[in-house]
With several copies, the nearest count.
Chain A
Amino acid sequence: MSPVNLSTQLAGITLRNPILTCSGTYGFGEEYVAYCPLEALGGITLKGITPLPRLGNPVPRLAETPAGLLNAVGLENPGLEEFLKSYLPKVRKLPTAAIANISGFSLEDYVLLARALQKDSGLAALEVNISCPNVKHGGMHFGTDPQSAQEVIAAVKAETDLPVIAKLSPNVTDIVGMAHAVQLGGADALSLINTLLGMHIDINHQRPVLANTFGGLSGPAIRPVAVRMVWQVFQAVDLPIIGMGGITTWQDAVEFMLAGATAVSIGTGNFVNPLAPLEILQGIQDYCEKRGLASVHDLVGLAHRA
């Protein structure tokens, strides 16, 4: 059997393979070095950054739910300046593509971040998080209103020469409308999905478990919702999709690709099994081989055939 071509084109960049890791679950790339060979990955997405440093929310920030994880980190990050100074030099040395993830509380925030991050930074792309549900009076707005989403993406696009990936929130009535909006804004690709807004109450203390009350739900529990959104958007919008939400096995990853994802991203799954990205890559490869597919890209959207 000839080897399967794993190389993946996305938003004008070429990834070694379609396996990425999700923003916020993989730090700035160094944390998992001892657990997973980064050079085997298609790329990693860095923790979301904002213009100014943020301490984020108080603890507890995490709560387990059935097949899911609630998090309310609240976008803790070192801020742009510190990122450029202390983190970017290390990121550049990582043996795989690095995608920055940016968040903001105003259009200006996004503009500022986009301006600072160009091709010469060594980054592969910019993922624009317009969907973080944890920050009050912020991100949520851009992520749920098509008009604002379009504006943010257009503004970012105007400022950077990096490919722009719009990361959408699932907490909307009409995901296709949001995807259309960011396409109009000029997005080169889409990331689907961010976390679902949820909460958990400790019945002994009769209080929310998370200090922030609400958190973002990730993990296998949300996979059916994520696959559905990838499917809907694939049908309606002509942009490559990075599929994520509850991927822990290669079967999950194949499911996303069949639904229409060009690449897949592993988040919470890393916590369960740090070798998940590697095992998933192997599984996808074997799956393609068994079915005689020359390229992993042949999987994309295959389940849409009548």
Chain B
Amino acid sequence: MLTEGQVVVHESLGDEEQRLRRLVLKGPIARTAHAGQFVAIQVQDSSIASFDPLLRRPISIAGISSERDEITLLYRIQGRGTEILARAKCGERLSVMGPLGKGFSLPEKGELWLVAGGIGIFPLYPLAQSALAQGLTVRLFWGGENKSFLESAGLSSWKDLGIPLQLSTLDGSLGQTGLVTEQAQELLEKSTASGGQIRAAACGPKKMMQAVTELFKNYKVSVEVSLEERMGCAVGACLGCVCTLIDEAGVLIHRKVCQDGPVFRGEEVVWDESC
């Protein structure tokens, strides 16, 4: 769907030095969106067309309110595109394509473990909401730079969900010091008995997605990971964003992150950069 989303909220998220923004858009996308999907948003002054930058920017859907026809996007100002996006004012209309891709799936029952690295947390929130609504047991492992980041990126909303949170920071300013996978491993050790009951969903840097996949595999927990790739069309037409999977027959195949993903079963992803 190609729509004009109207900006209803656009604000800084937490500590300004984290350069995070919260953008709420009104429009019909909310009606069909679900967790793990994303939009491709035009990051240019809305009334004077510009080629600088040329392409839309993919941003995950971080909040869905179908009653109010609103989706929330949370993003970090990373370069020119997001910097220009950050200027959009309330009332402005932004061209958005979405919802795009295939999101996370939910198990019927049991436990859902969420694993997030940095801003990979954003698409997991609506997933946690859906899972809880469905009566699943949810817990979160979340690693970030430091306390300021975790707090800025929505820690309090997560606390509001009332689920167990296992936090880690690189500098130890909040939660444990170190990597999020270490915490997950500890708990997996304890919970192996119930391994069949656990499903995991992860979003974060590629290296981390690989580590998470390998870790959970050892404990026979199946994990869905959300991947990132540079995008051209965002609808599966340009083959710019492929990732390599290995199919049941052991054959390497390509899938499009934009259309077939961004969420894939961790076990089928080939992490080798050279494919």
Contact = CB atoms under 8 A, between A and B. Distances in A.
Output the residue of B53, B233, B252, B253 with the most chain A CB within 10 A: B233
Interface in B214-242: 229-242
Interface string A37-56: 00000000001000000011
Given A62-B240, A67-B51, 18 more contacts: A24-B238, A27-B238, A34-B235, A35-B2, A58-B274, A59-B229, A62-B241, A64-B55, A66-B52, A67-B54, A71-B240, A73-B239, A211-B274, A220-B51, A221-B51, A268-B54, A270-B237, A273-B42
B177 interface: no
Interface of B: 1-2, 42, 49, 51-56, 95, 97, 229-244, 252-254, 259, 273-275
B230 A59 contact: yes
Contacts of B275: 55, 58
A248 B56 CA distance: 14
Contacts of A221: 51
Contacts of B236: 27, 31
14 contacts: A25-B237, A26-B237, A27-B238, A55-B244, A55-B253, A55-B275, A56-B239, A61-B230, A61-B242, A62-B232, A66-B52, A73-B239, A76-B242, A274-B2
B237 A31 contact: yes
Interface in A3-39: 24-27, 31-32, 34-35
Given A56-B242, A64-B55, A219-B51, A271 B230 contact: no
A220 B55 CA distance: 12
A174 B1 CA distance: 43
B2 A275 contact: yes
A63 interface: yes
Interface residues of A, number: 38
Main SS class of interface, B: loop
Contacts of A73: 238-240
Given A219-B54, A270-B233, A71 B242 contact: no
A221 B51 CA distance: 9
Closest A-B pairs by Cβ, 6 of them: A27-B237, A31-B237, A67-B51, A62-B240, A31-B236, A62-B230
